[in-house]
């Protein structure tokens, strides 16, 4: 594949802000978005910290100029519409139909924020529950709402591979451009916090009851987050034709399967190792050329150790500077790959490396230390971003400076 | 580069798995839903893995194994899964537990199994396959997104075997929801009279249909896949016919070359018009057939149509049970046109090889 | 000891969906994880819930559960120690 794919726009909403400026303010002031649960009614309310987007559905709809009364959007859709629109605008796209434009979105539990309300009544009595709460249940629903909101029709589809979902959406988008099926594509993902996922991860006993500590020896688990992150990919030719500013290149990517266990990562980080090696091979880069790794870094015992081992297998004793931005945003599940892709482009443009909050002691088996302070003038040319999901689904993206 | 269907595997409503006498016997029902005839899963899946598999996962994994056996492939180079609603039974189970026990005493198994890429993940686990593994969950584009991805993979690198499939399950609850949404027939009806019933609604189904696609023709080859196209929310029938004509042109096929058109008629009179108009306009010399009376309606039921088309092209025979209008042509080229509630339209072209 | 052991075996077979395994097949001292029954980390989580739901005993982390769930005998000993 010799056609180069460029990034021309980015859009984001997460616990650390509804755009890149707000996000950067949080990074600079080392203020994470992790805190108590406020939106949900759950027994875990005062026990588990999460990273909520600090805007209600009504506030976001208002920002989108959509009437609250007429809409029946799930929070997943609203977050997605918000970030995808921001990405489109940031790419200076005013007329979607000028070129073959697609939307590849990803999420893990679709419109579960509304469907879990429905099921509460429905499971007790099959005649009960408001139908309007269930129509948005499936993963494809939010994608179609985003597509309709933005006027995109050429190609619309949804990926769902747990925590690697939106990284995979980005890969697919790039390949569609490289095969000439699209000129440009909005790619990324969205997920909202739900009782379903809060309770689900709780059964796996991988939550930290405090704010998470990625890559720390005493790490105790993850904090769930919510949000949406999208980037606009274009063929270099299409970007040049419309005079778009190139904000970065997607120079390599890969998806590999750990094939070890349904939820746990292999002890030698095999899937992660394969994904990173293959992405490097595609980008024609040597490991020494990677200047920053945005790690998957969920802060679970299992992930950080496994990911760290894989990193050492690839980078040897000279592991590049790295940090987990999940220490700010929590783990946004299906949106994580997209959100972290946006952070990667921000890092390239502003030459900044984000800090990994609350790290004190390296994991003994790894002796790896992430960056704990924000670094300016970081001299970054190439960034590697990891997203690893259940089902052994391991994805790596490599972004390079324009 | 040519693309061939070199293996098939299926858990469907007509027989337990696919055999060469597919549709020799047709299942008839007056229910408004058709369930899969399930095989003995232990023949395909290790008991230690089975215990942690919900029904949809068993259907998908068994179909995948049948398909790989059929194609004589041990390790696929990629695994692609499409599902519209994903692991709905485990989703319901976990939600039910949350609600009933007020978020206490919850166990992880149904949560883990509710993750939509579990079918793909379990196939990889069973095979020890470290290769590319994607799951698409977008209504009636789920399976076709897999097809599109597979064709790109095969163009990127030759000599590969790509395993792909569509799978969806029907539960008592999901059937109830389909009914409440008004998508189900509410009059007495036999599935064999689904076409032209002149009423609203359809019959619900489920199933898993897997295929191995490859660049290399083989003794096991069923058909050549020329192309697949997805059309999102066309505004009118003109847009459909224009898109379809462009699709045929891109694949260097004339409308008059199409021997058989397999339509996604689902018995809902609101959604049947477009098929009839397209047929009248473009395919009035082609044999017309349909399949949803045999599969039921579900987001990935087009994968059943692919199975049917592959069977027709390999066996060189067409079961009378699917015919609506037989022009008695020898069937070398098949067009499959399906849509879901006017939103997700797909065209697929298969030829004999 | 044997009544609780048998009770546990039946509950475990049910909770972990161990089709084709009967209580007689599980020896009291045989390891449950790795070899023996070949249970894994997800099963351990299920057993933690089982202990909480059926016996009111809470285990705080998956790591704590490891020693407790070594065998039926160790589980029985643990349950009795919490009475």
* CA–CA gap between residue A100 and residue A96 (Å, rounded): 8
Specify whether A296 is catalytic. yes
Q: Output the pLDDT for position A271.
A: 97
- Percent of chain B with pLDDT strictly greater than 90: 93
Q: Report phi then psi at B239, rounded to 5.
A: -65, -35
Position of tokens 């994904």? Answer: A275
Are A186 and A299 within one domain? no
Per the prediction, chain A carries an average pLDDT of 96
One domain, residues A277 and A256:
yes
- Using CA atoms, how far residue C69 sits from B104, B197, C18, C37, C54, in Å, is 21, 60, 16, 12, 15
CATH 3.40.47.10 in chain B is located at 4-214, 224-351
- Residue B15 is classified by DSSP as S
ipTM: 0.98
CA neighbor of B174 nearest in space, from A133, A76, A119: A119
Contact (Cβ atoms closer than 8 angstroms) between residue C33 and residue C69: yes
Interface residue C61 vs chain A (CB under 8 A): yes
The reported pLDDT for the residue numbered C4 is 92
Q: Categorize the per-residue pLDDT at B52 as very low, low, confident or very high, splitting at 50, 70 and 90.
A: confident
Residues A209 and A253 in one domain: no
The set of residues, in sequence order, having a beta carbon less than 8 Å from that of A293 and lying 6+ positions away, is A311, A319, A320, A321, A322, A383, A384, A385, A386
A204–C49 CB contact, under 8 Å: no
**A267 to each of A273, A308, B194, how far by Cα in Å?**
11, 10, 54
pLDDT digit string, tens, across residues A181-238: 999 999 999 999 999 999 999 999 999 999 999 999 999 999 999 999 999 999 999 9
To the query of whether residue A94 is one of the catalytic residues in this protein, the response is: no
Q: Can you tell me the distance from the alpha carbon of B283 to that of B345, in angstroms, rounded to the nearest whole number?
A: 17
From CA B58, how far away is CA B52, in angstroms rounded? Answer: 9
pLDDT tens column, B147-195 = 999 999 999 998 899 999 999 999 999 999 999 999 999 988 899 888 8
Among residues A241, A270, A286, the one where a domain terminates is: A241
Q: Which of A126, A160, A390 lies at the smallest CB-CB distance from B176?
A: A126
The tokens for B44 are 């395909």
Choices 3.40.50.1950, 3.40.50.1370, 3.40.47.10, 3.20.20.70: CATH for B224-351:
3.40.47.10
Q: Taking CB atoms and an 8 Å limit, are C42 and B47 in contact across chains?
A: no
What is residue A7's three-state secondary structure?
Answer: strand
Distance of CA A173 to the CA centre of its chain: 15
DSSP-based three-state secondary structure for A247? coil
User: Is-contact A230 A338, C-beta < 8 A?
Assistant: yes
Please provide the size of chain A in residues.
402
- Per-residue pLDDT, averaged over B334-341, amounts to 98
C-chain CB neighbours of A263 within 8 Å are: 41-42
For residue A226, is it left (φ>0), alpha (ψ between -120 and 50) or beta?
Answer: beta
Give me the pLDDT at residue C60, please. Answer: 87
For residue A159, list its beta bridge partners.
Answer: A106, B136
Provide the pairing of β-strand A5-13 with A227-235: antiparallel
Cα A188 to Cα A200: distance, rounded to the nearest angstrom: 23
| Residue B23 pLDDT class (50, 70, 90 cuts) | very high
Neighbouring chains of A at 3+ CB pairs under 8 Å are: B, C
Could you give phi then psi for residue B123, rounded to 5 degrees? -65, -45
A198 and A232 in a single domain? The answer is yes
| Residue in C with minimal Cα distance to B109 | C42
Q: Is B82 helix (H, G, I), strand (E, B) or coil?
A: strand
Helices C41-55/C72-81 angle, 10° precision: 40
Nearby residues of B2 by Cβ (< 8 Å), 6 or more positions away: B215, B217, B224, B353
Q: Does residue A271 sit in the same domain as residue A185?
A: no
For residue A225, list its beta bridge partners: A51
Report A:381-400 residues touching B (Cβ under 8 A): 389-393
Scanning the structure block, which residue is given the tokens 């994903």?
B86
**Residue B341 DSSP symbol:** T
Count of CB atoms within 10 A of residue A375's CB? Answer: 18
Mutate to test the interface with A, among B78, B101, B121 (most CBs of A within 10 A): B121
Other beta carbons less than 10 A from residue B133's beta carbon? 31
> Whole-angstrom distance between the N-terminal and C-terminal Cα of chain B?
14
Q: Above 80 in pLDDT, residue C38?
A: yes
CATH of domain B4-214: 3.40.47.10
Query: Is the predicted pLDDT of residue C1 greater than 70, yes or no?
Result: no
- Chain A CA closest to residue C45: A204
In angstroms, the CA A362 to CA A368 distance is 6
The predicted model gives A133-160 an average pLDDT of 97
Q: Are residues A218 and A301 in the same domain?
A: no
Q: How many helices (H) and strands (E) does chain C have?
A: 4, 0
Interface test with C, best of A205, A267, A390 (most C CBs within 10 A): A205
Within 10 angstroms of residue B270's Cβ, the number of other Cβ atoms is: 11
Both A234 and A173 in one domain: the answer is yes
**Statement to judge: residues A296 and A384 lie in one domain:** yes
Domain final residue pick, A241, A266, A301: A241
Q: Quick one: tokens of B133?
A: 């593994």
Token pair recorded at residue A24: 């950067």
Res A3: pLDDT: 85
Closest CA to A100 of A169, A179, A159: A179
CA distance A88 to B226: 34
Task: Please give the mean pLDDT across all residues of chain B.
Answer: 96
Is it the case that residue A2 has pLDDT exceeding 90?
Answer: no
CATH number of the domain bearing residue A334: 3.40.47.10
Residue count of chain B:
353
Percent of chain A with pLDDT over 90: 97
| Domain's final residue, options A185, A219, A241 | A241
Supply B2's token pair.
């040519």
DSSP E strand boundaries for B145-188: 161-168
Of B103, B114, B130, nearest to A274 by CB-CB distance is: B130
- Helix, strand or coil, per DSSP, at residue B308: helix
- Asked if residue A164 and residue A39 are part of one domain, the reply reads yes
Name beta bridge partners: A105.
Answer: A158, A188
Same domain membership, residue A257 and residue A199: no
What are the tens digits of pLDDT across the range A262-294?
999 999 999 999 999 999 999 999 999 999 999
| Separation CA A352–CA A186 (nearest Å) | 24
| Distance of residue B9 Cα from the nearest chain C Cα, in angstroms | 26
Largest CA distance in chain A: 62
> CA-to-CA distance for A96 and A99, rounded, in angstroms?
7
DSSP 8-state symbol, A300: -
Residues composing chain C: 83
A331 is catalytic: yes
Q: Is B158 on the interface with A (CB under 8 A)?
A: no
Same domain, A310 and A172: no
Domain that includes residue A318, residue range: 249-400
Chain C residue numbers touching A262 (CB-CB < 8 A): 42
* Structure confidence by residue, pLDDT tens digits, A57-84: 999 999 999 987 777 899 999 999 999 9
Please state, as a whole number, how many other Cβ atoms lie within 10 Å of the Cβ of residue B59: 28
Pairing of strands B287-290, B323-325: antiparallel
Residues in contact with B334: Cβ distance below 8 Å, sequence separation at least 6, in sequence order = B223, B258, B259, B260, B261, B262, B309, B312, B313, B349, B350, B351
* Chain A residue numbers touching B95 (CB-CB < 8 A): 116, 119, 123, 196
pTM of the model: 0.97
The separation between the first and the last C-alpha atoms of chain A, rounded to the nearest angstrom, is: 19
Domain identity same for A158 and A255: no
- Asked if A247 and A7 count as a contact pair (C-beta separation under 8 A), the reply is yes
- Given a contact cutoff of 8 angstroms between Cβ atoms, the answer to whether C12 and C75 are in contact is no
Residue among B88, B87, B77, B65 at smallest CA distance from B11: B65
DSSP A172-201: HHHHHHHTTS-SEEEEEEEE---HHHHHHH
Q: Find where tokens 């972990």 sit.
A: C16
Here the tokens at position C40 are: 């894994």
Sign, CA torsion A203/A205/A208/A212: negative
Provide the pLDDT for residue A69.
75
DSSP secondary structure code for residue A26 in this structure: H
Interface of B with A in 265-284 (CB under 8 A): none
User: Is residue B339 within 8 Å of residue B345, measured between CB atoms?
Assistant: yes
Domain count, chain A: 2
Give the distance from CA A69 to its chain's centroid. Answer: 30
């Amino acid at each position: 594949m010799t056609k180069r794919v460029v990034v021309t726009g980015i859009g984001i909403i997460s616990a650390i802000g509804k755009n890149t400026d707000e996000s950067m303010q949080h990074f600079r002031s080392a203020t994470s978005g992790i805190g108590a649960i406020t939106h949900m009614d759950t027994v875990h309310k005062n026990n588990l910290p999460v990273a909520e987007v600090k805007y209600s559905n009504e506030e976001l709809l208002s920002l989108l100029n959509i009437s609250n009364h007429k809409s029946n959007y799930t929070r997943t859709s609203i977050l997605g519409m918000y970030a995808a629109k921001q990405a489109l605008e940031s790419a200076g796209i005013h007329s979607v139909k000028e070129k073959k434009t697609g939307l590849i979105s990803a999420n893990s539990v679709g419109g579960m924020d509304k469907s879990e309300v429905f099921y509460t009544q429905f499971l007790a009595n099959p005649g009960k529950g408001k139908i309007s709460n269930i129509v948005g249940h499936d993963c494809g629903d939010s994608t179609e709402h985003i597509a309709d909101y933005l006027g995109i029709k050429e190609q619309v589809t949804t990926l769902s591979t747990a925590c690697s979902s939106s990284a995979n959406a980005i890969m697919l988008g790039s390949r569609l451009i490289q095969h000439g099926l699209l000129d440009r594509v909005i790619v990324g993902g969205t997920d909202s916090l739900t009782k379903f996922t809060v309770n689900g991860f709780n059964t796996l006993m991988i939550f930290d009851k405090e704010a998470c500590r990625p890559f720390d020896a005493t790490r105790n688990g993850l904090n769930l987050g919510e949000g949406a992150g999208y980037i606009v990919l274009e063929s270099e030719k299409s970007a040049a034709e419309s005079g778009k500013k190139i904000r970065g290149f997607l120079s390599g990517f890969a998806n590999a399967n750990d094939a070890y266990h349904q939820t746990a990562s292999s002890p030698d980080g095999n899937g992660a190792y394969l994904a990173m090696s293959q992405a490097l091979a595609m980008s024609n880069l040597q490991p020494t050329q990677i200047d920053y790794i945005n790690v998957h870094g969920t802060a679970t015992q299992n992930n950080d150790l496994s990911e760290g081992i894989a990193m050492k297998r690839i980078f040897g004793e000279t592991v590049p500077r790295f940090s987990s931005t999940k220490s700010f945003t929590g783990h946004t599940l299906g949106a994580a790959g997209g959100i972290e892709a946006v952070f990667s482009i921000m890092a390239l443009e502003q030459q900044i490396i984000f800090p990994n909050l609350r790290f004190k002691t390296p994991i003994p088996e790894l002796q790896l230390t992430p960056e704990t302070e924000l670094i300016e003038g970081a001299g970054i040319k190439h960034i590697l971003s990891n997203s690893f999901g259940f089902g052994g689904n391991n994805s790596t993206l490599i972004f390079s400076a324009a | 580069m040519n693309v061939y269907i070199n293996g098939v595997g299926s858990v469907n409503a007509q027989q337990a798995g696919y055999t060469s006498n597919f549709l020799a016997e047709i299942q008839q029902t007056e229910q408004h839903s058709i369930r899969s005839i399930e095989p003995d899963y232990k023949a395909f899946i290790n008991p230690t893995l089975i215990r942690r598999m919900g029904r949809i996962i068993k259907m998908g994994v068994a179909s995948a194994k049948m398909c790989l056996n059929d194609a004589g492939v041990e390790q696929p180079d990629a695994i692609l899964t499409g599902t519209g609603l994903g692991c709905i039974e485990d989703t319901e189970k976990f939600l039910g537990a949350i609600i009933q026990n007020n978020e206490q005493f919850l166990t992880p198994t149904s949560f883990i199994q509710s993750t939509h890429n579990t079918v793909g993940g379990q196939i990889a686990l069973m095979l020890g396959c470290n290769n590319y593994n994607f799951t698409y969950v977008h209504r009636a584009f789920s399976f076709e997104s897999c097809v599109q991805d597979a064709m790109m993979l095969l163009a990127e690198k030759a000599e590969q075997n790509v395993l792909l499939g569509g799978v969806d399950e029907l539960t008592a609850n999901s059937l109830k929801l389909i009914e409440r949404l008004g998508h189900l027939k509410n009059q007495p009806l036999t599935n064999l009279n689904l076409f032209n019933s002149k009423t609203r609604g359809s019959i619900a189904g489920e199933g898993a249909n897997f295929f191995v696609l490859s660049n290399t023709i083989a003794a096991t080859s069923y058909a050549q896949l020329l192309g697949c196209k997805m059309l999102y929310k066309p505004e009118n029938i003109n847009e459909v016919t224009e898109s379809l004509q462009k699709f045929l042109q891109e694949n260097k096929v004339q409308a008059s070359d199409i021997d058989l058109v397999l339509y996604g008629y689902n018995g809902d009179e609101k959604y049947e018009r477009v098929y009839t108009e397209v047929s009248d306009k473009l395919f009035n010399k082609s044999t017309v057939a349909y399949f949803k009376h045999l599969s039921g309606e579900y987001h990935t039921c087009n994968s059943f149509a692919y199975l049917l088309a592959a069977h027709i092209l390999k066996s060189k025979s067409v079961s009378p049970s699917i015919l609506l209008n037989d022009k008695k042509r020898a069937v070398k080229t098949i067009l499959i046109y399906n849509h879901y509630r006017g939103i997700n339209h797909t065209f697929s072209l298969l030829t004999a090889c | 000891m044997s009544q609780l052991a048998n009770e546990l075996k039946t509950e475990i077979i049910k909770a972990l969906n161990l089709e084709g395994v009967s209580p007689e097949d599980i020896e009291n001292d045989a390891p449950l994880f790795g070899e023996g029954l070949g249970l894994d980390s997800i099963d351990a989580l299920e057993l933690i819930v089982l202990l909480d739901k059926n016996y009111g005993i809470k285990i705080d982390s998956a790591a704590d559960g490891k020693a407790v769930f070594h065998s039926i005998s160790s589980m029985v000993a643990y349950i009795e120690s919490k009475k």
